Amino acid sequence: MGGESTTRTAPRSGGTGSGTAAGSGRLGQRLSGVAVALGLVLFLGGFAWAAVSYRPYTVPTGSMTPTIDAGDRVLAQRVGGDEVRRGDVVVFRDSSWVTGSDVVKRVVAVGGDTVSCCTDGKLTVNGKQIEEPYLPKGSLAENQDFPTVTVPRGRLFLLGDERQGSLDSTAHLTDAAKGTVARTAVIARVDSVVFPWKGALKRPTGFEALGTLSRPGPLSTIELLIVVGAVLVLGGGAYGPIARRAGRSRARAARAEAAGVR
């Protein structure tokens, strides 16, 4: 009996807790890996969608001021001419206008429409006066009156927003097509001004009384995918360093507590 030690060792604590922490750490690592993978899919998928759907352009002149100034960089959605509606700002190619160059103008009338200017200073389409808030403040709808034009089927009548200096349909009224452009000449529809940043073009609500307007392109959805993807990649990638730092802090706290018990 005398040789039996009466010293008892306190049971070690933290066995179950450390196992739980390890399991939690493994789960966190798996979730962070999933977040990074999903984020990459969204991020790269957004850019791929944008590359397929949009084309960038630099507008060389001020004929679309103030909507688009000279030198502005725009994103234009790739669309066919059959998708174009009144009020759209489009990119087109017509050899009778400018050889070898893309032209950016606003569609104000489509096949079957009659267009003239001006009635009380406003553009008139199918007998309706069109409100055009995108024109430079205080400017006229046209610098001079032009006779009523009936737009042939399958063609478009286009004007610049800066009517005083735009070489648009009114500059080609004596042509065989009376200044109109074939729908098939359209290669894209401008969706947004991205540099300097002005954002999405405003909807041309003045044309709503004449028919359906174009729906906005998928640019806002693409931007959301890219942003969410970037957040997931950064958040998932940051989990590892944060978890390791937290683990070291818990280990130091455990050692300090153990030292205090002794």
Question: What are the extents of the domains in the chain?
Answer: 55-217, 218-262
What is the pLDDT at residue 139?
86
As a whole number, mean pLDDT of residues 119-144 equals: 90
AA letter at 130: I
**DSSP tag of 83:** G
Q: When comparing pLDDT for 244 and 10, which is higher?
A: 244
AA letter at 145: D
Residue 162: partners with Cβ closer than 8 Å, 6 or more residues away: 62, 63, 64, 65, 66, 136, 139
What would be the CATH architecture of the domain defined by 55-217?
A: Ribbon (2.10)
Rounded to 5 degrees, φ, ψ at 194 are -105, -20
What is the pLDDT at residue 257?
65
The edge-to-edge listing of strands for the beta sheet with 122-125 is 128-129, 122-125, 114-119, 146-150
Distance CA 193, CA 67 (A): 9
What is the pLDDT at residue 62?
93
What is the pLDDT at residue 5?
46
Distance CA 46, CA 35 (A): 16
Alpha helix (H) residue ranges in the chain: 15-53, 219-261
Record the tokens describing residue 40, joined without a space: 């990459």
What is the pLDDT at residue 168?
93
Distance CA 181, CA 187 (A): 12
Distance CA 78, CA 171 (A): 27
What is the pLDDT at residue 137?
87
According to DSSP, the residues that pair with 195 across neighbouring strands are 73
As a whole number, mean pLDDT of residues 156-175 equals: 92
What is the pLDDT at residue 24?
60
AA letter at 16: T
Residue 205 C-beta-side C-alpha neighbours within 13 Å? 2
Q: In the chain, what percentage of residues exceed pLDDT 70?
A: 80
AA letter at 154: G
Rounded to 5 degrees, φ, ψ at 75 are -110, 125
According to DSSP, the residues that pair with 149 across neighbouring strands are 115
What is the pLDDT at residue 43?
94
Distance CA 56, CA 190 (A): 9
As a whole number, mean pLDDT of residues 104-120 equals: 94
pTM of the model: 0.80
